[in-house]
Amino acid sequence: MSKKTIMLVCSAGMSTSLLVTKMQKAAEAKGMEADIFAVSASEADQQIETKNVDVLLLGPQVRFMKAQFEKKLEPKGIPLAVIDMKDYGMMNGPKVLEQAEGLMK
């Protein structure tokens, strides 16, 4: 499987960085090559334009932005979902990674 790029978007990019670390560990344990990173909502547009993103996950705190991201991502064919609030709150990296993988199939 080729390297996958998973972008997480939250309001400031801070709380999500811990989740990124846990997702990276889960990906390594599976032998999955992944570039997983978090950005703030204000940086997201630039990243979408400059990186080859395979899937975008929104943090629960920015779920209200889903419609505007759908408009930007649809022409590029990038799947989008909101991270489950429970998984986000518990920083459940393996579960969120699973969610991202499911969207990329």
Q: Would you please indicate which residues are annotated as catalytic (active-site) residues?
A: 10
Task: List, in order, residues 6 or more apart from 11 with CB less than 8 Å away.
Answer: 40, 41, 59, 61, 62
Q: What angle do CA 10, 15, 19 make, to 5 degrees?
A: 95
How many Å is the Cα radius of gyration of the chain?
12
